[in-house]
Chain A
Amino acid sequence: MYEHDVLIIGAGLAGLRASIEAARMGVDAAVITKVHPIRSHSNAAQGGINAPMTDRGDEWEGHALDTIKGSDYLADQDAVELMSREAGDAIIELEHMGVIFSRNEDGQLGARRFGGQKVARTFYVGAITGSAMLQVLYEQAIKHDVNFYEEWFVSNLIVEDGVCHGVMAMDIHTGELQMIRAKAVIMATGGAGRVFEPSTNALICTGEGLGLAYRAGAPLMDMEMIQYHPTTLAGSGILLSEAARGEGAYLLNAEGERFMKTYAPDYLELASRDVVSRSEQTEINEGRGIDGNIHLDLRHLGRTFIEERLGYLQEVALEFVGVDLAETSIPIRPGMHYIMGGIKTDINGATEVPGLYAAGETANVSVHGGNRLGANSLLDTIVFGRRTAIAAAEFANSAERHSSDESMLASEKARYQALLDRPADLRSAGIRREMGESMVAGIGVFRDQKSIDAATATVKELRSLYQRVAVDNKGKVFNTDIMAAIELDYMLDVAHAICAGANARKESRGAHYRTDMPDRDDENWLKHTLVYKDGEGSRVETLDVTITNWTPIERVY
């Protein structure tokens, strides 16, 4: 039995930033994570972090407008305003903590341009910005003496009378299940990319944070908003950063033409990601692809520039495809990358379940709406990681210690035991892959009622097959087999919620592009979709978008 004031699940950028703030506030905070913090998927963010630096001529309103336009007016404008206003201080704080941001000739922070924005306000470390930031936040967490449960797998929340009082988790090294009580829990578990196949996301991005919150009664918001990144490798789905286009790379079709001039004459390759991915897919669908791909061309940037500014891209191209970016263009295509949707929170990270908070990709405070701008995800984690920790710590300070019912642990143990006892039947990986492929097919760059229905039906069928999932590994030590089986349980919930959101939204907006309903419908759908768990099924509600200063207008790039 362990106890803390604030327990943070996940040690990526949002979780680590939250842990540092909680430590500063003097509460007993701990981070629980299924991989070592340095292995968290935030390390895969490449291009940079956006911030309007008002002390050097940029304006927060400009960044806010770009973000809101990028979101196709689905973002809550109060949340966006907060993020844009706090961004500058957040960057300076990161720099003071030790992030080795690139500089200009004057020794100040240097910036590059990113998609959906005309101003160069993306601060970066080569093409390893996420990794460089993650390392520094982990260093700061060490400095602040944060407690870590490293390689512990959270498989359930302790929820009594609708209030969250902690988690139940397995120490992966010993296989022992424990209750870890906390007055407040922050979900910072990242995305759910593996619900799709292929995806740019790491194998750990299984989205159980979303599933846990959903089962605890928190609604998942705008789950239909799935970002397909315009430049991912065919097959593996490995990401090539938007930084390439930010630094001037071209997208070419089979005719060697920079086709983006047709779709986004002003922003070209640097239109919003949903726009670029749709344009690429249209080119491919209309027969102007190259073996089902588009080419990303960096050759004109020159070898030295590529190696210094985009070194990681060159490494990926060389090692995984055998392509030297200075010599040859590289085949890419749109690939599932990010989920704008997530656990609905207020601007301080509070969910609808008392005691449960969320921040980062797993949350939806709604700064990304229908489409996230590149380099806004890192900003989201830093700004809302901090705010959420403050709110959670304040909640913990006023909450009573709760002594949870030990029988909950017994039933969680029984859940594991049932998997262990089941004789060999279906493997979790087979079901996961089938789910992933049907989600890409049904909830893709383009979708319609038929494809959404097909994905919904497949997920439902796979849910019934889940009862037959068995594990080979009956041991206690480092049993990744049983983890994968439990992860799949939550992934199926997440897949269901995504299908439910997609089915509910009867319009096209941002990443949710329905070929059978191609227009945005502000009259009826300037709304969020909320998927609640309801008995064995779910129900969908809607909620008006918060509009403050920016009236929705037509979105042109």
Chain B
Amino acid sequence: MEQTLRVKRYDPENPGEAGYQDYTVEVTDTTTVLDALLTIREDMDGTLSMRCSCRASICGSCAMRVDGQAKLVCKTRISSVAPNGETLTIDPVGNMPVIKDLVVEFKPFWDKMRAVTPYLQPEGVIPEAEYFASDEDMVHLVGVVNCIQCGACVSDCTVLEVDDSFLGPAALAKAYRFVKDPRDGHQKDRLEDLNKPSGVWDCTRCMQCVEVCPKDVDPMGRIMVMRDMAMETGFNNTSGSRHTESFAKSVKKNGRLDEMKLAVDSMGKFNIPALLDSAPVGLRAMRKGKFPWKGHKSSEPDKVKQIFEKIEGK
């Protein structure tokens, strides 16, 4: 059957002609989006540029947006995304500048990988044979080392969209791989670094990275574990950490969230500039009835308290 792909074109040598170009190719049930793009590049239009290599979801070259969502196109069967032959729109991944057509500049991606001290740092005497480690720990790490650094998570990260200083899901998953490696001797230093601005606390838990990851790496889940680890290690002096504490405290006390208090606690009572900065948001929230003068209270706060006691008593 025939399938149309609407492919984003951009040529820096002729930037005026950027736009979408339609190609129609013959496909079967098992044709992947990459197969179709290769047919276009090899037999129809050699001017189309893209990165691709292994065709088997292991090299990480071919992340692109298919109908707006980042996917590894080599493992995306056309029949699964266009079951009724709908036109598919192919764009380059997001949050990285486009070089040409479907090729983006990955340098910021690799720079962030380098920023998390991406190599094992053992401490003490190096054993003559291997380090002892449990198979359980190693198998757990396989889940993260499974990351092929394709950039799909970075593409669709909603924080990077507004703040390109954020380390982002891929680099933080890479950091987790060392934080959780029993052979690494610098867990505390790593957590201290990750606790800084642009680190673990800048994630908004939107789940996009988990959703689009083609290798089930669960970057957001890893980030949440590192938050807990940072707090347990004693790194509590961040707005993120205070936010977490205040959130829990408020719900435990009233059965509901006191957003005014949450904002003040998170930023710090004496952090006047930050508080002034967020005043407009506060006023808008107030108009929507978010800050009742008597504070939010659950009708049965005791029951909520019981839940907390049960969990904490564990």
Contacts and interface: CB of A to CB of B under 8 A. Distances in A.
Given A236-B56, A430-B43, A481-B41, 14 more contacts: A36-B110, A95-B131, A102-B138, A103-B133, A103-B134, A108-B129, A128-B142, A139-B118, A202-B59, A235-B30, A427-B42, A477-B99, A478-B99, A478-B103
B222 interface: no
B115 to A, nearest CB: 11
Contacts of A39: 51, 53, 59-61
Contacts of B122: 96
B181 A100 contact: yes
**9 tightest Cβ-Cβ pairs between the two chains A and B:** A472-B46, A98-B120, A429-B42, A481-B46, A107-B132, A139-B119, A103-B135, A202-B54, A202-B53
A480 B119 contact: no
Nearest to A321: B30
Interface residues of B, number: 57
Contacts of B11: 475, 477
Nearest to A106: B132
B55 A55 contact: no
B248 interface: no
B240 to A, nearest CB: 28
Q: In the complex, which range does the number of interface residues on chain A fall in?
A: 35 or more
Interface in A453-510: 471-473, 475-481, 484
Given A39-B61, A427-B43, A472-B45, A238 B142 contact: no
B53 A427 contact: no
B43 A479 contact: no
A309 to B, nearest CB: 9
Interface of B: 11-13, 30, 32, 41-43, 45-47, 49-61, 75, 77, 99-101, 103, 106, 110, 114, 118-120, 122, 126, 128-135, 138-139, 141-142, 145-146, 148-149, 181, 183, 215
Contacts, number: 167
Given A139-B119, A481-B46, A38 B129 contact: no
Residue from the set B54, B101, B131, B215 with the largest chain A CB neighbour count within 10 Å: B54
A43 B46 contact: no
A363 B226 CA distance: 44
A139 B134 CA distance: 23
Contacts of A139: 118-120
Contact of A108 (B30, B41, B132): B132
Contacts of B59: 35, 38-41, 43-44, 202
Residue from the set B30, B43, B130 with the largest chain A CB neighbour count within 10 Å: B130
Interface string A206-244: 000000000000000000000000000001101100000
Nearest to A203: B53
A481 B60 CA distance: 21
17 contacts: A39-B60, A40-B59, A43-B58, A95-B130, A96-B122, A97-B120, A100-B141, A102-B135, A103-B135, A105-B135, A202-B59, A203-B55, A316-B56, A430-B42, A472-B46, A476-B13, A481-B41
Interface of A: 35-36, 38-41, 43-44, 55, 91-92, 95-98, 100-110, 125-126, 128, 131-132, 135-136, 139-140, 142-143, 173, 202-204, 235-236, 238-239, 308, 311-312, 315-316, 319-321, 427, 429-430, 471-473, 475-481, 484
A108 B118 CA distance: 24
A128 B146 contact: yes
Contacts of A97: 119-120
A131 B60 CA distance: 11
A61 to B, nearest CB: 21
A44 B54 contact: yes
Contacts of B100: 475, 477-478
